[in-house]
A and B are shown apart, each in its own frame.
Chain A
Amino acid sequence: MKRILLLVVMTVLAGAQGALPLAAKPVECRVPGFQVDRIFALPLVMRAIEAKRLSILVVGNGSSQLPGPTGNNVSYPVRLQAALAKKLPGVEVTVATEIQPRRTSIEAVKVMPKALAVTKPTLVVWQTGTVDAMQSTDPDQFSRALDKGINIARSAGADMIFVNAQYSPRTESMIALGIYAENMRWAAMQHEVPLFDRFRLMQLWSDVGTFDLYSATKKLDMAVAVHDCIGQLLADLVIEAARTPSGR
């Protein structure tokens, strides 16, 4: 009887822990050796933080959102906003999104000027690469679209950060990300745009065992935790890049 009682108590406790808000979950997002790329400066973001107003626009595809009625409240753009607000007390942080699944970079560049005019961000977070790989966009055209996007953002008075494709082990043998990831890295280097290497990060998570990215499930739990981590680490990169002295 005692044993059953103990079991019940433990189950209740476990249930309570599961119901705790996200921030209390002991997921260790940070993995050593994640940020290997050079962190380029975000001088405009730096000034915006000093002026206590930081407005961000996330331009992305399906992997910048989560499905379901609650999806948009827990996806990484929202988590980014929360993490930045926490790390930058006194700064008003807003995050707008321009997200469209299945849109190639070439199409994304076309909507950028309008989205920038409406939201007037200081930072554009551009998540891209997956759809281009799936549609096998011409790699040269992809590179040109990246150059164009950076120029559009900069001439509208905004800095840019790249976010590359997700690491998706199950579909890995079906989507050839290689050349698109390489071209993104090269464009980032050339234009001195910080690259948030989401692919490498998720691969490290998978190796270390932070998340089981192979798992097949309809549940949103893991996806929510992954997006929370991405939001936090992206916030780290934004702040670190803003503090980096500008050579531009």
Chain B
Amino acid sequence: MAAHLAPVSTERDLRLDLFRGIALWLIFLGHIPSNTVSWITIRNYGFSDATEIFVFISGYSAAFVYGRAMQNAGFVVAAARVLKRAWQIYVAHVFLFAIYLAEIAYVSRNFDNPLYTEEMGVLDFMKNPDVTILQALMLKFKPVNMDVLPLYIVLLLWFAPILWLLLRSPTLALLVSAAIYAVMWLFNLNLPSYPSGGWVFNPFAWQLLFVLGAWCALGGAQRLTRWLNSPVLIGFAVLYLVFAFLIAMTWYIPRLAVYVPAFVGEAIYPIDKTNLDVLRILHFLSLAVITVYFVPRDWPGLKHPAFWPAIVCGQHSLEIFCLGVFLSFAGHFVFTEVSNQVVTHFIVSFAGIAIMVGTAALLSWYKRVERQGPRPPAKQPGFAEGDVR
């Protein structure tokens, strides 16, 4: 246990924190409806988006933390800690849901416009809070943009056994994960949602990226080193990113769509986010390959102060993710109640990121203080480490 509780600055891969931090910012920006600034988010330039980055890195860090715990303290202790983490995330999700309810209640009391009679029906669930809240507690009713944490909970719930397998036979574990993904596509598996349909992020699909992240953390990435530096692979990744970029342009300039040959359109559409389309996985992997190539683990620039804001956010991912969801509600509220000018979009976006960075810095400070507190560090409860270490 002591090994992973000690600060592991030499081992810590700052790239994970950096890119997770950036993903958290992009998720925040993308979750404010009609936000002009969300034009910078990667989803506009290709098939995948910040969710892939977030899920992959979460799998990577979960394996890093709990893999060590499993080797040092055994399956039961590690599994118990994973479940505890899942519970924390569940509590965070319910907390966010409470804030969402407050927002909905406000809108339903204050908004009236005969143009939107139909749309206002979405507020009807306030009439049956008993049903809605129960469905939300069962993770079946999930408001817009509140789908990531439930996915994370489910992924952690079955993480202990897959981690056990990953530690014994990484390849087999990866094959099991891929098989689940394939079976999901064959039989249209998904968890049910309320009032109808399935989960926006199908856990049977997204587990593949989570497990792939875990596999990389447990030595898979090292095994791939030779491949990752091959110019052929880099070339393919670049080509694929260019292809995705060109296709993405046709979404914004639909008249360009006529230049997309019919068979290409038939082959690629619809690009399914719910079931994590293969095109999305490939896009994420291409981005990852190029990033790993240009930003090596020991790149001194990672210590540059310019990257610190994103890194510190990435180091407190759960808290900052939740804060981001809350801030995106608040940002939308500002747009509707105060001003919808483009300049407001910029102010809200930058203020939101500043609040995220400030909060993350505060959390880091808190952690340091707690460690130096009256109790010796070794007795600190493990979960306080978060899933990032």
Interface residues in chain A, defined as those with a beta carbon under 8 Å from any beta carbon in chain B: 36-38, 61-63, 66-68, 71, 101-102, 130-131, 134-140, 143, 166, 168-176, 179, 182-183, 185-186, 189, 203, 206, 213-220, 222-223, 226
Contact = CB atoms under 8 A, between A and B. Distances in A.
Closest 6 CB pairs of A and B: A62-B118, A172-B33, A223-B115, A136-B197, A168-B119, A176-B144
A94 B246 CA distance: 43
B270 A171 contact: no
Interface in B265-297: 265, 269-270, 273-274
B257 A38 contact: yes
Interface in B116-159: 116-123, 143-145
B376 to A, nearest CB: 46
18 contacts: A38-B254, A62-B118, A63-B118, A71-B114, A136-B193, A136-B195, A166-B116, A170-B111, A170-B113, A171-B120, A171-B123, A172-B332, A174-B104, A175-B122, A179-B273, A214-B340, A223-B113, A223-B114
B30 to A, nearest CB: 11
A171 B108 CA distance: 10
Contacts of B197: 135-139
B47 interface: no
Contact of B196 (A61, A130, A135): A135
B115 A171 contact: no
B122 A134 contact: yes
Given A168-B116, A218-B112, A138 B332 contact: no
B4 to A, nearest CB: 39
Contact of A36 (B103, B196, B253, B269): B253
Contacts of B198: 138
Contacts of B112: 216-218
Interface in B191-211: 193, 195-198, 200
Contacts of B196: 135-138
A182 B270 contact: yes
A61 B118 contact: yes
Contacts of B144: 173-176
Contacts of A71: 114
Interface string B176-218: 0000000000001000010111101000000000000000000
A37 B256 CA distance: 10
A120 to B, nearest CB: 28
A218 B188 CA distance: 44
A174 B270 CA distance: 23
A104 B254 CA distance: 27
Contact of B336 (A183, A189, A214, A220): A214
Quick one: which of A38, A138, A173 has the most chain B CB within 10 A? A173
B56 interface: no
Given A170-B116, A173-B328, A226-B115, 5 more contacts: A136-B193, A136-B195, A169-B340, A217-B113, A218-B112
Centre residue among B33, B145, B255 by max chain A CB count within 10 A: B33
A174 B123 CA distance: 9
Contact of A135 (B34, B195, B273): B195
A216 B110 contact: yes
B8 interface: no
Size bracket, chain B contacts: 35 or more
Contacts of A38: 254-255, 257-258
Contacts of A206: 340
A169 B335 contact: yes
B25 interface: no
A184 B33 CA distance: 20
B2 interface: no
A108 B335 CA distance: 34
B329 interface: yes
Contacts of B114: 66-68, 71, 218-220, 223
Contacts of B335: 169, 214
Nearest to B110: A216
B73 interface: no
Interface in B16-36: 33-34
B269 A174 contact: no
A171 B113 contact: no
A71 B114 CA distance: 10
Contacts of B257: 38, 189
Contact of A174 (B122, B195, B258, B328): B122
A63 B107 CA distance: 19
Contact of B115 (A131, A166, A172): A166
B254 A176 contact: no
Contacts of A67: 114, 117
Contacts of B143: 174
Contacts of B118: 61-63, 101-102, 130-131, 166
Contacts of A214: 335-336, 340
A172 B113 contact: no
Nearest to A172: B33
Q: Which of B117, B188, B198, B255 has the largest number of chain A CB atoms within 10 A?
A: B117
A215 B332 contact: no
A63 B121 CA distance: 11
A216 B107 CA distance: 10
A75 B135 CA distance: 37
Contacts of B329: 173
A225 B198 CA distance: 38
Contacts of A138: 196-198
